[in-house]
């Protein structure tokens, strides 16, 4: 097994960390009120939330196929969806970079070099960030938020700097030289010319627009799931308020490089919910509900697809069985 595959003990520690965090939410809440809030959720909204969230992931799988096709990695829509959803098993890793597990499966099935598949995973993370910022900017047109404005400006500058760097070979080499030389990051420095070629293709004018459009569509769908969660709890926040309360901490959690943005995302949401007038017990219950119906639900979908894919890898791990 290559070092691209996550270590079991690391995954175990991540799970323990989340359990401890969620236990803290129980402690700081009024347990009786907390139980009451969970018991009185409008559970009719759960199925639409899960369905729309799954649709959002399907949209991203179409973007993945577009990127793979542009780099000469051809596969059927069915296989592409399976590969994409298998990557969701690692969506709760730092900034979602654990989704490089897709590179492992593609190497075993098609013998494609890691440079191409890793380039796609990195491009997905870039376009997700760009799209999230775009959704926040849209929300800011309707709701005033100092936090949202700051995040938009700072991360907007980051998005532009990354784009400029991958379009200029000297700047790209400089950027590669300063990234950590750990895990799969080492692959980038070892094959930086190939990565630069892939990055140039994935940020061409046509793919840049389509990558952003697919990302924007998927994140708007995710925003709908957040809003439905607020409705399920009987809260009267607007759609755009729900976006800011969820997306601002989400981006901060991602850039923190903590697994699943643990702590940063939850307490960021808690702070914004309290600021909006939501009591701490309702806010805590809502945060856990959202995390389980989005991030952890996607993780479960990913694990199911990973089990399906690995079942078709032969004992030597060289190829998929027909």
DSSP string, 164-209: HHHHSHHHHHHHHHHS---TTHHHHHHTHHHHHHHHHHHTSHHHHH
Tell me whether residue 283 is in a domain.
yes
Tell me whether residue 290 is in a domain.
yes
Which residues of the chain fall short of a pLDDT of 50? 1-7, 313-322
pLDDT for 303 equals 84
- Domain range for 107 is 40-310
pLDDT for 321 equals 40
Tell me whether residue 320 is in a domain.
no
pLDDT for 1 equals 41
Question: What are the CB-based long-range contacts (under 8 Å, 24+) for 102-110?
Answer: 103/4, 103/184, 104/2, 104/4, 104/5, 105/309, 106/73, 107/2, 108/313, 108/317, 108/318, 108/319, 108/320, 109/319, 109/320, 110/73, 110/75
Tell me whether residue 6 is in a domain.
no
pTM of the model: 0.85
pLDDT tens digits, 227-268 = 999 999 999 999 999 999 999 999 998 888 777 777 788 889
Tell me whether residue 11 is in a domain.
no
Tell me whether residue 322 is in a domain.
no
pLDDT for 32 equals 64
Tell me whether residue 22 is in a domain.
no
Number of domains the chain contains: 1
d(CA 129, CA 55) in angstroms, rounded, equals 19
114 contacts: CB under 8 Å, gap ≥ 6: 4, 103, 107, 184, 187, 191
- With CA atoms as reference, report the closest residue to 243 among 318, 176, 320, 147: 147
Tell me whether residue 14 is in a domain.
no
């Amino acid at each position: 097994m290559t070092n691209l595959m996550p270590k079991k003990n690391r995954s175990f520690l991540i799970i323990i960390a989340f359990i401890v965090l969620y236990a803290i939410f129980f402690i700081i809440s009024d347990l009786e009120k907390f139980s009451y809030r969970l018991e009185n959720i409008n559970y009719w909204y759960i199925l639409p939330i899960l369905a729309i969230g799954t649709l959002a992931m399907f949209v991203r799988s179409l973007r993945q196929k577009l990127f793979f096709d542009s780099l000469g990695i051809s596969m059927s829509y069915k296989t592409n969806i399976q590969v994409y959803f298998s990557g969701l098993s690692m969506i709760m890793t730092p900034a979602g970079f654990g989704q490089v597990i897709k590179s492992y499966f593609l190497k075993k099935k098609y013998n494609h070099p890691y440079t191409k598949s890793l380039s796609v995973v990195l491009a997905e993370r870039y376009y997700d960030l760009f799209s999230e910022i775009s959704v926040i900017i849209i929300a800011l047109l309707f709701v005033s938020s100092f936090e949202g404005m700051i995040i938009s400006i700072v991360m907007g500058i980051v998005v532009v700097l990354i784009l400029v760097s991958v379009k200029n070979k000297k700047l790209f080499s400089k950027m590669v030289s300063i990234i950590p030389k750990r895990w799969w990051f080492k692959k980038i420095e070892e094959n930086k010319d190939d990565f630069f070629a892939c990055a140039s293709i994935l940020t061409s004018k046509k793919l840049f627009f389509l990558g952003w459009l697919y990302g924007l569509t998927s994140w708007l769908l995710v925003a709908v799931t957040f809003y439905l969660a607020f409705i399920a709890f009987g809260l009267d926040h607007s759609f755009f308020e729900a976006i800011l309360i969820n997306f601002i901490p989400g981006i901060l959690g991602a850039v923190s490089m903590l697994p699943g943005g643990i702590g940063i995302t939850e307490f960021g949401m808690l702070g914004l919910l309290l600021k909006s007038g939501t009591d701490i017990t309702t806010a805590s219950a809502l945060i856990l509900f959202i995390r389980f119906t989005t991030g952890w639900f996607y993780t479960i979908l990913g694990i199911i697809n990973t089990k399906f894919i690995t079942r078709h890898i032969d004992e030597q791990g060289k190829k998929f069985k027909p």
